[in-house]
Amino acid sequence: MTPPGPAMERLVVVSGPSGAGKGTVVQGLLALRDDVWLSVSATTRPARMGEQHGRDYLFVSAAEFMGMRDRGELLEWAEVFGNYYGTPRAPVETALADGYLVICELDVQGATAVKRAAPEAVLVFIEPPSLDDLSLRLRGRGTEDPQSLSRRLLASYDEVKNKGLYDHIVVNESVGKAVGELFRIMDQLKPQKGLL
């Protein structure tokens, strides 16, 4: 069951192309606020080196994921590069009911699905200063083979084209500045039950 409107007004979806630094910006915000809860997505992709189940993602089998989907346990879900990703509904609803501001880090497809399901949700797009800068960041990671890098770059360009769907756009020229902008956006949303 979806929480009533006011609770979903405290649901913030943060998106941005791969390499834009959205994860770093969100982690910077979490270090400053104890009234914000970060949703952990479920995925069928294998864990990468250093990733932990329950912290980075909920790593599940395709059968487990489809079961969650079929039982309506996902707020949104999508197939991306041959793997499934989705946001478990119950933990988000529990955090909202407990008065937290909730952040979901999702791609454009996921953000659009959340906005359809909960029009009151706030969408924030994190983008790099330029597409050239984005390309340099992705190449600098050294985690992608050339074909995968090319696919991610094309997907990133498509995501940037959709930034007009978002309520707020934050340009990540410097992490500190971007964290400050996201902090101000979150300040406009009122946590409940005296969490501050």
In three-state secondary structure terms, 191 is coil
Task: Specify the CATH architecture of the domain 5-187.
Answer: 3-Layer(aba) Sandwich (3.40)
Torsion 153-154-158-161 (CA) sign: positive
User: Does residue 131 carry a pLDDT above 90?
Assistant: no
In this prediction, residue 186 carries a pLDDT of 93
User: In angstroms, what CA-CA distances link 150 with 44, 88, 135, 139, 145?
Assistant: 22, 30, 10, 10, 9
Non-local CB neighbours of 137 within 8 Å, separated by 6+ positions: 19, 20, 21, 128
Residue spans of the domains in the chain: they are: 5-187
Taking the mean position of all CA atoms in its chain, how far away is CA 86?
A: 10
The pLDDT tens digits for 88-126 are: 999 999 999 999 999 999 988 889 999 998 899 999 999
User: What percentage of the chain exceeds 70 in pLDDT?
Assistant: 79
Q: Give the residue with greater pLDDT, 133 vs 105.
A: 105
Q: Do 101 and 6 touch, CB atoms closer than 8 A?
A: no
Closest listed residue to residue 23, CA positions, set 183, 179, 181 = 179
For residue range 144-188, what is the model confidence (pLDDT) as tens digits? 677 776 766 666 666 767 788 899 999 999 999 999 999 999 998
pLDDT for the residue 183: 96
Q: What is the pLDDT of residue 5?
A: 45
User: Phi, psi (5° rounding) for residue 10?
Assistant: -100, 15
